[in-house]
Structure 1
Amino acid sequence: MKDVLGYRAKFGVLGPSTNTIVQPEFDEMRPAGVTNHYSRIVIENAKAVSNDSFMAGTKMIDEGTEEAVRGVLTCAPDYLVMGMSAVTFYGGAKGAEAWKKRIETFSGLRISMGSESLIAAMEAIGGIKKVAFLSPYFPVANKEVENYLSDYGYETVRDIPLQRPSWLSIAETPFSMSRDTVKKLDSDDVDAIIQVGTNLCMARLAPKLELELGKPVIAINTSTYWHALRAYGITDKVSGFGRLLEEF
């Protein structure tokens, strides 16, 4: 028997309990017959006021991931999706692969995560070698993203860490700030602009900027959900979120 709503796939989505953006953005991208089941990694609203405190906060999220996996497994999901991106970049390509293997071994399921989804997205779009990116992170975490991208041959021309002061404040980032930051990043010397940090709301804004700038603007939640759908064999095109879900 099939789940009456998730008759094509039930996705177990893992994310921090303070994250209020992943769940609604993923649900907006959901094709008929696919359901998302958000499992919260319980944390407090950490005040990320320095490089050290930001990294410590993300480590706590990492340490709580397996408990969230245990919770979502009770609804018998078919596939897992990581709704927190920072830890999936740590340690470069090898660190990300080790993290993925750990979660897949623990759960017995495959998982899509932000870091690998960005690489897959850029490969699908093609013609991308030099990038710029924004994040709600602090500089130390941006460096981890840059190192990860370099492992796959992508050069980071420039990046801007917004240094949001708490986990909740990331979701409170006004669209005007994100838009202005993308404009600061853009120049003829970059082929694409990337946004990381899953609690930063960009899924609807990115395609608008993509049209304005005439180059790919890839939002982390869009690339992650696109990757999950395609990895699970669901090829539906979804409009309103840019080229990834509309063309690839």
Structure 2
Amino acid sequence: MTDSLGPRLKIGVVVPSTNTSAQPELDAMRPHGVTNHTGRMVIGDDPMVDEPGFGHVMRGIRTSTLPAIESVACCDPGCVIVGVSPESHWEGTEAHGRVLHAMRAAAGGRPVTMSPDAIGAALSAYEVRRIAVITPYLPVGDESVSRFFEDSGYDLLSICGLGVPSPAKISHVSETELRDAVKEIDSADVEAIVQVGTNVAMARLAAAAEFWLGKPVLSNNAVLYWHALRQNRIADRVGGFGSLLAAY
């Protein structure tokens, strides 16, 4: 027998305990017969204004991610979304395979969707390489994100860090701030704009920005959910969150 509310797919989602944006955004994207089941990585709302502070937040995420994945694996989801961006980028491309392997093991061998893989698949779908990136971080976080994209072979033309000082305050970033950031980093040479940081609620704004820019604007949460759905053969087109979910 299949799950009564999620007969097509159950998706496990793990996010930091400070994250209040990913769960409501992902729930709004659910196709019929798909359910989301969220576990939390317990971390403190510690300052990220310098490298020691950012490193402390990262250590908290590292120690709590695998237990959070194991907790959602108990409900037997078809896959797991790991909704945290810094851990995906902080150690570089050479560490990504090792991190992903550990997360799959914690998920009982189930498919795991992380930001680098999901964003890479999305950019491949659009066949673009020249990008601009929005992050919620201060320069210490922006440096690792820049390095990851450049090491992955993308031409990073510009990056805008919004300078948020702690994990919980990332959810305070407004659509007005995001609109201004999109305007700041866009240019004729930019083929796509990528936003990282799952506690940034940008899915709705990204869809609007695509309309007036005429190019892909990829919000982190929409990309993660699209990748999880398509990996599990859920091909529904979901409107309102950008062209990726609506057309690919």
Residue 107 of structure 1 deviates from its aligned partner by: 2.0
Question: Which residue does 1:115 correspond to in 2?
Answer: 116
Corresponding position: 1:213 with 2:234:
no
Question: 2 CA distance for matches of 1:234 and 1:59?
Answer: 34
Q: What is the DSSP-based 3-state SS (H/G/I as helix, E as strand, rest coil) of the residue aligned with 2:132?
A: strand
Question: Which residue does 1:23 correspond to in 2?
Answer: 23
Residue 151 of structure 1 deviates from its aligned partner by: 2.9
Question: Which residue does 1:102 correspond to in 2?
Answer: 102
Residue 226 of structure 1 deviates from its aligned partner by: 0.2
Is residue 90–residue 96 contact of structure 1 (8 Å, CA) maintained in 2? no
Please report the TM-score for the alignment, with normalisation by the length of structure 2: 0.96
Residue 152 of structure 1 deviates from its aligned partner by: 2.8
Question: Which residue does 1:75 correspond to in 2?
Answer: 75
Residue 102 of structure 1 deviates from its aligned partner by: 0.8
Residue 247 of structure 1 deviates from its aligned partner by: 0.9
Structure 1 runs (4+) deviating above 4 angstroms are: none
Residue 129 of structure 1 deviates from its aligned partner by: 1.9
Residue 130 of structure 1 deviates from its aligned partner by: 1.2
Q: What is the DSSP-based 3-state SS (H/G/I as helix, E as strand, rest coil) of the residue aligned with 1:38?
A: strand
Report the residue type matching 1:49 in the other structure.
V
Question: 1 CA distance for matches of 2:217 and 2:68?
Answer: 31
Q: Deviations over 1:187-214 (max 9, x none)?
A: 1121111100000110111010111111
Q: What is the DSSP-based 3-state SS (H/G/I as helix, E as strand, rest coil) of the residue aligned with 1:200?
A: coil
Q: What is the DSSP-based 3-state SS (H/G/I as helix, E as strand, rest coil) of the residue aligned with 1:158?
A: strand
Worse-superposed segment, 224-233 or 130-139: 130-139
Residue 56 of structure 1 deviates from its aligned partner by: 2.0
Please report the TM-score for the alignment, with normalisation by the length of structure 1: 0.96
Which structure 2 residue ranges, 5 or more long, are not aligned? none
Residue 156 of structure 1 deviates from its aligned partner by: 0.8
Q: What is the DSSP-based 3-state SS (H/G/I as helix, E as strand, rest coil) of the residue aligned with 1:204?
A: helix
Worse-superposed segment, 104-113 or 178-187: 104-113
Residue 52 of structure 1 deviates from its aligned partner by: 2.6
Residue 78 of structure 1 deviates from its aligned partner by: 1.6
Is residue 51–residue 139 contact of structure 1 (8 Å, CA) maintained in 2? no
Worse-superposed segment, 202-211 or 92-101: 92-101
**Matched ranges for 1:11-90 at <5 A:** 11-90=11-90
Residue 96 of structure 1 deviates from its aligned partner by: 1.5
Question: 1 CA distance for matches of 2:191 and 2:126?
Answer: 11
Q: What is the DSSP-based 3-state SS (H/G/I as helix, E as strand, rest coil) of the residue aligned with 1:131?
A: strand
**Matched ranges for 1:92-171 at <5 A:** 92-108=92-108, 109-126=110-127, 128-171=128-171
Question: Which residue does 1:184 correspond to in 2?
Answer: 184
Q: Give the percent of matched residue pairs that are identical in Structure 1 and Structure 2.
A: 40
Residue 75 of structure 1 deviates from its aligned partner by: 1.3
How many aligned residue pairs are there? 247
Which structure 1 residue ranges, 5 or more long, are not aligned? none
Question: Which residue does 1:203 correspond to in 2?
Answer: 203
Question: 2 CA distance for matches of 1:61 and 1:211?
Answer: 36
Q: What is the DSSP-based 3-state SS (H/G/I as helix, E as strand, rest coil) of the residue aligned with 1:12?
A: strand
Q: What is the DSSP-based 3-state SS (H/G/I as helix, E as strand, rest coil) of the residue aligned with 1:7?
A: coil
CA RMSD of aligned residues (A): 1.2
Worse-superposed segment, 56-65 or 231-240: 56-65
Report the residue type matching 1:159 in the other structure.
I
Residue 166 of structure 1 deviates from its aligned partner by: 1.6
Residue 59 of structure 1 deviates from its aligned partner by: 2.4
